[in-house]
Chain A
């Protein structure tokens, strides 16, 4: 009777307007990812986490392997992200196996939105908005950290020198974009 629809992105109109109006002039392209599978994993201790999880990155770094990204966002907390796998498949691919009981896994795929900012000026713009150190030496490719961006709690990932991904709570996504848009328009 009912089919499973596509997940609804948040910034359809806003990003369409950005691409049509200011993207080229600012040199910053913005994309929203609304289909990602996200598992939050938490162990009781770092030792447990290191024992259970393969490919574990050091704190505030992310590792990419196969179709999965592991982000170490806290001493005992890791996010597993995948654009190709659904949450159950992602859980399976992580090969946590019988040790799963030691590790809590929570699907938060729909609770967060990913905004990708690409362009030469992005680092400078984000540097001004976040409280963390986003200078080239301080936040390089492979880095991921929780910080505050214009008053919004976010997880930031540096993919390369000109590409940054911001994870924000779904409910705050539009609010964050509105602040980002003001800052990005200053580039014009």
Chain B
């Protein structure tokens, strides 16, 4: 059954299901294909030759290959939130209702305005953007917009991606990448040992090149052998076969990323999956990609790889043209002849640029068809499809051109082993002069190439190589390998691919009237490579960056080796000295959605909730993300705005009493005989005299003398301390401490245990804080004399086991009640209950921030910003001069001790009313549109609810000596300038009287 629209569908043949016709659309036009088709084969079946436009010149392009190496046929699937751009039509499996669109063309594919770029192509040579758009300077913003619009290929989905993706982990003993002859042999060899094997292939069926090669293995046809191998593997129970799964990256320790197509986008559920597979051993049977030949006019629709033409004929029963020409420099393309004949495609001529062809090969050319050896294709004709090719004898520029009409040009420039994964894993590549391509050299541990990827170009060699590599992998993974050969010698097979070496001289290509394309996707021509070399960019890495060859979604699968060969000829250096560019992951594009998997929206990153989260929610909290934590921001009441709520919370805490969830502070138990010595080295202040049940505010420095973090150190026992870390820095401090403990200070017997999650911490602050604590029936005396500031008590509070610290960040009398986290709910309810008569209200992060600024307390990220020293923060006197500690040596550097450094000071507006812009520069004069020398910067600014005026904290050069001086807080971005007076940073209760009541 061949629906009438499929004018190029053969009546029989191919591994498609002709009983399942599928309707699809391309650029809005309806077509029909069959199950088993790719979008590319279906379009070819329907006679669609023009499928895309090239990147730079918008040249018409057709399907060029039949696999992941496709540089031309990039399409977008669907629209709106389901849109997926830049998919290779050769790897889009046809399904009912598929909607595909061409890219990079406006208003349409046939008539594309962008094609006007061809008219000025002389001005658009490689690197043109480095040399143009320089004048006039002011126009750059306009140029930039145009360049940005022109850059890129497809468009991202509109709004959140509507498809579902999955990102999962997996493990296996042996991973075999590629299910061609070598891969199948390897999988059979390993599978027999009982090892856990994963066999993956980018195609939806097994067999690789055997699916379209004519061969007999073990007395069977290649398709029968594939079927038998497939049945054997599937029934083994220890072999997992993943089809439609492309290995896109190979990282350290054999972590291989697989991009698996799970379902078509029209089906519910997961559409694509990223599998992070960790394999004990890896066999890379990744095969080879046929190289194009570089000749003038080699990019028109209808020009495709010879192997691709064979695949379309044999795998999908598609006739990719009616009248064909073969252009080659090697024997493998001659196998195409039989397939063209079987499909009823007329062969006009075989052009072999080599001077001689072996008799056995020449005999494959049918009688009546000219075989032109020693001839070069010099031009092609045809706008939206190739119509003819012009040929002349090699080395005779005066010879007249002979024109051969055609609508299909099958090209073959040799074969390039697919070694991207091998290279990523650390395998080295070398240039082989015989095959003029890169081949595998030294393999890394636990990974081996097999088959064509290992340099075995004949089918028998491939199968033997696959088997041997499988035996090696099984043994290396700890399984007893079967040493007998899996497959008998090939009875009757064709060479899979053979050496190539001859190419058209670069000088001829440069002199030709038509462009000779090296990289089809990026429109990189031989002239571009020559220009690059001429301008001094001779390293292949530089050539790549200057010309963009090898970039793009195909990552140069068809162009890289040709580029090396051409640069070799241009520079006169042998190919092995040219080297190769880095073959980076991913080998083929991966959707961002797959990388994210389920980690999107609210599940994007792990989030931490405090033990009081549920209680806060019951109180109507508005939260804010603070690092990993979901933190209480403020607690609005009765229609209050945020500002009103925060203002109320500050005033209530200052006048009555408030509570705030402090559980996010990092907490660690430090224990052991060496605990005190460890802390003495860790913190810059003296802790030697810290008594039992005492607490000390402490500073931790980096090795360079800069403040890393601040917090408290509490002594709970002779060798037992509890330290706190700021919420945002706790992970960094944790790593810092573990490194010191495990690596640098191994002489100390100390253990550090995180107890951040074990303790729920509720700070009670305000004039009535002690009354609230007393009402909670503590098991210890909480009077000022018995429980003095900077002390800690352990006992029972509110019926709960508790540690209570008399510390304050708000500047009010304060206690931090810590109870085991499972009792947080009870503590919250009991504190709220007993606190009600004293006007107790919860307050959030915003109110706390205001109160700490009023008090002049420093905060991580604003004042402790990775640049400040203790002296800058006004805490220089904390630094011990009598002990050694981390950061001491470098803190003594003159630059860190300079009087000219920025010091933390307070700022108030001279007019007493104008708010000071956050982040403003401190300067000597008002903003007049001219740059000024900065004297510092504002770190925090509020309108104080308590003081009823704007205040700010700032670092000002030599600020400690400039109290009373008038300067300007200038914000060019906000176009604001405020005259301010430098004052001490403690605005509220500077002597701390409210703490000591």
Task: Decide if A and B are genuine partners.
Answer: yes
Question: B-contacting residues of A (Cβ < 8 Å)?
Answer: 1-5, 7-8, 34, 40, 42, 44, 104, 106-112, 127-131, 133-135, 137-138, 150-152, 169-172, 174-176, 178-179, 182-183, 186
Q: A186 to B263, alpha carbons, bound, how many Å?
A: 14
Q: A127 to B753, alpha carbons, bound, how many Å?
A: 29
Are A106 and B669 in contact, with the CB atoms below 8 A?
A: yes
Summed over the interface, the residue pairs from A and B with CB atoms below 8 Å come to a total of: 130
- Name the residue of chain B whose CB is nearest to the CB of A173: B609
Q: A38 to B607, alpha carbons, bound, how many Å?
A: 23
Task: Give how many B residues have a beta carbon under 8 Å from the other chain's beta carbons.
Answer: 49
Q: Which residues of A contact B169 (CB under 8 A)?
A: 127-131
Are A8 and B825 in contact, with the CB atoms below 8 A?
A: yes
Q: Does B363 contact A (CB under 8 A)?
A: no
- Name the residue of chain B whose CB is nearest to the CB of A6: B822
Q: A107 to B820, alpha carbons, bound, how many Å?
A: 10
Q: With contacts A2-B799, A4-B799, A106-B753 known, is A151 near B605, CB below 8 A?
A: yes
Instruction: Give min CB distance, B718 to chain A, whole Å.
Output: 11
What are 18 inter-chain pairs, A to B, with CB distance below 8 A? Answer: A1-B799, A2-B798, A2-B799, A4-B823, A5-B800, A42-B753, A104-B753, A108-B755, A108-B758, A110-B611, A110-B758, A111-B755, A111-B758, A128-B170, A130-B169, A150-B606, A175-B606, A182-B598
Are B757 and A42 in contact, with the CB atoms below 8 A?
A: no
Give 5 nearest A-B pairs by CB, closest first: A2-B799, A7-B822, A111-B758, A128-B168, A111-B757
Q: Which of B602, B756, B776, B799 contacts A178 (CB 8 A)?
A: B602
Are B606 and A152 in contact, with the CB atoms below 8 A?
A: yes
Are B758 and A109 in contact, with the CB atoms below 8 A?
A: yes
Q: With contacts A42-B753, A182-B598 known, is A133 near B278, CB below 8 A?
A: yes
Instruction: Give min CB distance, B220 to chain A, whole Å.
Output: 34
Q: Does B821 contact A (CB under 8 A)?
A: yes
Instruction: Give min CB distance, A8 to chain B, whole Å.
Output: 5
Q: Does B751 contact A (CB under 8 A)?
A: yes
Q: With contacts A110-B759, A110-B820 known, is A104 near B603, CB below 8 A?
A: no
Q: Which residues of A contact B607 (CB under 8 A)?
A: 172, 175
Q: With contacts A108-B758, A138-B171, A150-B599 known, is A175 near B825, CB below 8 A?
A: no
Instruction: Give min CB distance, A178 to chain B, whole Å.
Output: 6
Are B751 and A107 in contact, with the CB atoms below 8 A?
A: no
Q: A128 to B169, alpha carbons, bound, how many Å?
A: 4
Q: Which residues of A contact B269 (CB under 8 A)?
A: 186
Q: Which residues of A contact B758 (CB under 8 A)?
A: 107-111, 170
Q: Which residues of B contact A183 (CB under 8 A)?
A: 598
Q: Which residues of A contact B611 (CB under 8 A)?
A: 110, 170-171
Q: Which of B168, B608, B799, B825 contacts A129 (CB 8 A)?
A: B168
Q: Which residues of B contact A104 (CB under 8 A)?
A: 669, 671-672, 751, 753
Q: With contacts A104-B671, A130-B169, A186-B270 known, is A5 near B605, CB below 8 A?
A: no
Q: Which residues of A contact B270 (CB under 8 A)?
A: 186
Q: Which residues of A contact B609 (CB under 8 A)?
A: 171, 174-175
Q: A35 to B599, alpha carbons, bound, how many Å?
A: 30
Q: Which residues of A contact B168 (CB under 8 A)?
A: 127-129
Q: Mark B273-293, 1 if CB is under 8 A from A, else 0.
A: 000101000000000000000
Q: Which residues of A contact B171 (CB under 8 A)?
A: 127, 133-135, 138
Q: Which residues of B contact A134 (CB under 8 A)?
A: 171
Q: Which residues of B contact A130 (CB under 8 A)?
A: 169
**Extra pairs beyond A2-B798, A34-B822, A172-B607 (6, CB < 8 Å):** A1-B777, A8-B614, A40-B753, A104-B672, A110-B759, A179-B603
Q: Mark B163-176, 1 if CB is under 8 A from A, else 0.
A: 00010111100000
Instruction: Give min CB distance, A40 to chain B, whole Å.
Output: 6
Q: A144 to B401, alpha carbons, bound, how many Å?
A: 76
Q: A175 to B171, alpha carbons, bound, how many Å?
A: 25
Q: A129 to B170, alpha carbons, bound, how many Å?
A: 9
Q: With contacts A8-B823, A130-B169, A175-B606 known, is A108 near B777, CB below 8 A?
A: no
Q: A1 to B269, alpha carbons, bound, how many Å?
A: 56
Q: A8 to B618, alpha carbons, bound, how many Å?
A: 15
Are A110 and B826 in contact, with the CB atoms below 8 A?
A: no
Instruction: Give min CB distance, A53 to chain B, whole Å.
Output: 15
Instruction: Give min CB distance, B972 to chain A, whole Å.
Output: 40
Q: Does B824 contact A (CB under 8 A)?
A: yes
Q: Which residues of B contact A178 (CB under 8 A)?
A: 602-603
Instruction: Give min CB distance, B60 to chain A, whole Å.
Output: 44
